[in-house]
């Protein structure tokens, strides 16, 4: 009878470890006859067994492969992709080796050799007895930053008032002084708020109210649902749900002027404002106007200087509101009034077709409350609950 045997040329040609390493590895062998001649272009049946403990240890996994040799007698296979006879490769605990690989070719036992690389690679996937990633599993737990109490008196943080690079810590007073010097801060500044998309908006306090000091530009409701983009006339006029656009469909207008929303969008129960914020009612706007001196004076104190068409007239922004002339989108989908009018929705409906909005004009100091068609696209400011 002709005997055959395998010669193992390369084991573990590629064990790939990603976020989770695969439960398989490569195996290559040269199949020869008993006289050493290569078995070229022949069908062979190869059976792989993994033993635990010793060369005669317990068989914990066996699979078989039907393969054909190449012209050089080579056969390549992936341990883990064969027909499973017993056990599971994924179920092997590689930390309790040693392990041995046993080979049969056409039902003839060809020998057993120790596995070395695979158990270590698979065991490394579990990080051995290392840190699980859960703080509570640690012994000799380090103190968490949140556990520190009391005044640290600068004993652990140096260079705090005059930072020399981008990674230095600074005091609140130093940060506020920088913001003030760059014109980003006024006496009403009260921090920042982020919308659902993570965009930041400066916050101001005017009287007893807390407002955003920049127009809303989100594309999502508070729960993450999309607001419908309707950036052309036909799409805008056919809207039957909440929608938004941006002036002249030009993305360059978004950051400075924000987006324009119809009334259905700003009154949707999913809320376009950040968590803890809402659309102002007409009463909220009137309260702001009253605090700033009434109809004839409030507009001047709300308008950002240098951005209105007649920028030298009645624009002090002493309130910190930083109103910009973002224009509008009409109910027919036509854009207009950029640079000349600032128009902001209130959440207060008048009837089925109209609602209240606020109007600032480049040539006046007035802040007017006007009724407008709910299909218009106006700017949005949110007020804190």
Assess whether the previous peptide bond of 98 is cis (omega < 30° from 0): yes
Residues contacting residue 131 through CB under 8 Å, at least 6 positions apart? 137, 138
Q: What pLDDT score was predicted for residue 276?
A: 96
CA 332 from chain centre, in angstroms, equals 36
Q: What is the pLDDT of residues 187-244, one digit of tens each?
A: 677 789 999 999 999 999 999 999 999 999 999 999 999 999 999 999 999 999 999 9
Per-residue CA distances from 335 to 138, 240, 330, 346 (Å): 61, 19, 6, 20
Instruction: Residue 285: name the closest of 190, 191, 379 by CA.
Output: 379
Q: Is residue 280's pLDDT more than 90?
A: yes
Q: Is residue 286's pLDDT more than 90?
A: yes
Residue 8's pLDDT band (boundaries 50, 70, 90)?
very low
Instruction: Residue 222: name the closest of 185, 159, 176, 269 by CA.
Output: 269
The DSSP secondary-structure symbol of 219 reads: S
Out of 70-79, 297-306, 330-339, pick the least confident. Answer: 70-79
Q: What pLDDT score was predicted for residue 6?
A: 44
Q: What pLDDT score was predicted for residue 143?
A: 61
Q: Is 143 helix (H, G, I), strand (E, B) or coil?
A: coil
Q: What pLDDT score was predicted for residue 307?
A: 92
What ranges do the domains of the chain cover? 4-125, 189-384
Residues 292, 302 contacting (CB under 8 angstroms): yes
% of the chain with per-residue pLDDT over 90: 54
Q: What pLDDT score was predicted for residue 11?
A: 38
Q: In sequence order, what DSSP letters do the residues of 251-318 get, joined into one string?
A: GGGHHHH--EE-HHHHT-TT-SSPTTEEPPPHHHHHHHHHHTTSTTTHHHHHBPTTSSTTTTSS---T
Q: What pLDDT score was predicted for residue 97?
A: 79
Q: What pLDDT score was predicted for residue 184?
A: 53
CATH 2.60.40 fits 4-125, yes or no: yes
Mean pLDDT of the chain: 83
CA dihedral 188, 222, 377, 344 (to 10 degrees): -20
Q: Is 192 helix (H, G, I), strand (E, B) or coil?
A: strand
Instruction: Residue 50: name the closest of 92, 102, 110 by CA.
Output: 102
CA atoms within 13 A on the CB side of 356: 17
Q: Is residue 150's pLDDT more than 70?
A: no
Q: Is residue 12's pLDDT more than 70?
A: no
Q: What pLDDT score was predicted for residue 172?
A: 65
Task: Give the number of other Cβ atoms within 10 Å of residue 238's Cβ.
Answer: 10
Q: Is residue 130's pLDDT more than 90?
A: no
Cα–Cα distance between 106 and 2 in angstroms, integer?
Answer: 12
Q: What pLDDT score was predicted for residue 93?
A: 83
Out of 30-39, 72-81, 102-111, pick the least confident. Answer: 30-39
Q: What pLDDT score was predicted for residue 91?
A: 84
Name the token pair of 222. Answer: 């508070």
273 φ, ψ to 5°? -85, 160
Q: Is residue 263's pLDDT more than 60?
A: yes
Residue 123's pLDDT band (boundaries 50, 70, 90)?
low
CA dihedral 384, 347, 329, 205 (to 10 degrees): -20
pTM, entire model: 0.56
Radius of gyration, CA atoms only, the chain = 36
Q: What pLDDT score was predicted for residue 129?
A: 55
């Amino acid at each position: 009878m002709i005997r055959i045997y395998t010669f193992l040329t390369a084991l573990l040609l590629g064990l790939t470890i990603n976020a989770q390493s695969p439960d398989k590895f490569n195996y290559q062998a040269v199949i020869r006859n008993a006289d050493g001649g290569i078995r070229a272009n022949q069908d062979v049946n190869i059976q792989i067994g993994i033993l635990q403990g010793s060369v005669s240890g317990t068989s914990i996994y066996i699979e078989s492969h039907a393969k054909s040799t190449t012209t050089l007698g080579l056969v390549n296979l992936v341990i883990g992709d064969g027909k499973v006879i017993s056990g599971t490769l994924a179920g092997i605990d590689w930390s309790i080796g040693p392990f041995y690989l046993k080979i049969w070719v056409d039902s003839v036992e060809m020998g057993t050799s120790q596995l070395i690389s695979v158990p270590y690679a698979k065991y490394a996937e579990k990080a051995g007895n290392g840190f699980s990633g859960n703080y509570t599993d640690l012994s000799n737990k380090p103190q968490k930053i949140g556990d520190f109490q009391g005044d640290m008196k600068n004993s652990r943080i140096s260079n705090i008032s005059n930072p020399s690079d981008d990674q230095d810590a600074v005091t609140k007073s130093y940060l506020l002084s920088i913001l003030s010097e760059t014109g980003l801060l006024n006496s009403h500044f009260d921090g920042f708020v982020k919308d659902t998309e993570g965009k930041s908006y400066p916050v101001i306090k005017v009287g007893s109210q807390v407002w955003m000091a920049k127009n809303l530009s989100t594309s999502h409701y508070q729960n993450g649902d999309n607001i419908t983009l309707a950036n052309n006339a036909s799409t805008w006029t056919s809207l039957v749900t909440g929608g938004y656009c941006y002036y002249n469909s030009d993305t360059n207008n978004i950051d400075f002027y924000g987006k324009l929303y119809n009334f259905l969008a700003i009154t949707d129960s999913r809320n376009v404002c950040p968590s803890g914020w809402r659309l102002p009612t007409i009463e909220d706007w009137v309260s702001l106007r009253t605090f700033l001196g009434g109809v004839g004076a409030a507009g001047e104190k709300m308008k950002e200087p240098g951005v209105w068409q007649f920028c030298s007239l009645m624009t002090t922004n002493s309130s910190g509101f930083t109103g910009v002339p973002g224009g509008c989108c009409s109910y027919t989908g036509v854009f207009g009034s950029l640079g000349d009018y600032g128009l902001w929705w209130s959440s207060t409906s008048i009837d089925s077709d109209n609602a209240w909005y606020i109007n600032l004009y480049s040539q006046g100091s007035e802040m007017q409350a006007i009724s407008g068609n709910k299909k218009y696209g106006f700017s949005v400011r949110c007020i804190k609950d």
